[in-house]
Structure 1
Amino acid sequence: MQRVLVPDRGSIKILGPSWRAARSKLIEYISDGYQLISIVGRAGVGKTTLLLSLNNTGRGVFLYADMTEVPDKGLSGIMATLIADNIDRVIEIQRKLKHAGAKGLLRAFAKAGVDEVVESARLKPLETLKLLNDAVELLGLEPLVLGVDEGLVSQEDPRAMNFIDALHAFRNNMQLLRKTHLVVTLLPDVVNMIAKVDTPLFDVMRIASITLPDYVAQEDLKEIASEYGLPPEEVRKIMNLGPLTMRQVICLVNTKVDVVKCGVDTADEITIEG
């Protein structure tokens, strides 16, 4: 059963030229075959929204997992969460495998029950991922895109190395998972930690990395205001508040510029919510 934590993925719209350019680059990385991709940015800049927008590309299979409240940050926890939170899509793959007359391990995978598949992902994460990779290839559904959100929210987290080891394990097996792309959201301090403790992993990750702007540019704000039908006086009011993250801007346009609710200090000091 999918957790309540999984957001609605039906209607993600990217607003602002800066963020659309980031989405285009993200899709380009996947199309060009990059398998380990990172979306980097501070809290509130729109990493999750950008990641979820991959659900609307019209091709491939997208599995999303919000790891915020998942205790196990290792590969077992990531894979089990991906399967459990996207079980409807996994079941659809199984159905198509049966219809295609899959043989061998894929036939066994197609016949496995929900609990069995989730348990397999927890106990044998790489093997289960390989089955999914091979399934989408056999069915012509590639690419398989795994979106892992908030895998690590601080380098101070005692489970940090578990998460980094999971990324490293994926990196080491990319040759076996050619149809699979792992896209992770990361805070800048976590990226710095990876650079310090796992240079080989960092060297691979920085090849396909997107860094989102800290603050919304004026041209982005104008487009957002137009989309939401904001009156000119409210647009001017928002512009005068100083640098704002994307989260704060969207909050402001949805609350008639309620600076308190949106964590904006009118003395030009912005409070960023975690």
Structure 2
Amino acid sequence: MANRGPPNHITNGIQAAVIEWIRSLDLELISLLLSRSWPMSILDNSEPQWRPTEVTDTDNVVRIDRRQRLLRWDRRPPNEIFLDGFVPIVTRENPDWEETDLYGFAKNNNPSIFVSTTKTQRNKKTYVWTPRTANRGIVYQYEIYAPGGVDVNESLLHESPWPNQMEVAFPGGIQNIYIRSARELHNGRIQRIWVNPNFLDPNELEPITSSSRTPNVIWRIDHPDGGHKDLDGRSKRSASLDDDLMHGGAESVS
């Protein structure tokens, strides 16, 4: 493993984690857990790169990490996500090396302690990485402003399996207070925008954009319209591979 000094570089690290035992770990320890399965080809010149407290965004503007817009595609509805946050598949203490393997998670979406997000890409126009399956069934695009996390491209360098996804992975998941909104889509058509009243606003964010015809709905617990999902969807606190649409191999940019 490359010797780059302490792994935190002034970072909020795992502050966003919804899993308490992960959130309470020392950052150096969680970095060592991730390093157990590091690709041999980059072992000598890279290590987990945590998002700094000030990030250079995709439009080259420097923002604090809590003001960088991240997105996540998921089939679970606001009645689950706005209540529990994004909980990773693996939540138990003492995960094995495969469950902390950042490369395996990024490439194959292996069951792990991570939750994936993608950066909003801003280059003359704003666009986002979108899975091809986003146009099938009931899908939600969650808008996230969270501290810390691991920058996958910066960490894995040329071994990053899907660099176009511009992924930020969060060990231990993401608490609900860092999720601002969700766009509900049915077969690719937006139905409504859900607004999370529990969102911890860092201020100075761009407003939520939507058509004047799109309803903006303030979420509440057990909202009668807040549980829409496909009939084969199973309610659960943590994601299954069917719920998680953040697969790098099947994507487009729009």
Q: Which structure has more strand as a fraction of its residues?
A: 2
Q: Which structure has more helix as a fraction of its residues?
A: 1
**TM-score of the pair, normalised by structure 2:** 0.21
Is the radius of gyration larger for structure 1 or structure 2? 1
**TM-score of the pair, normalised by structure 1:** 0.20
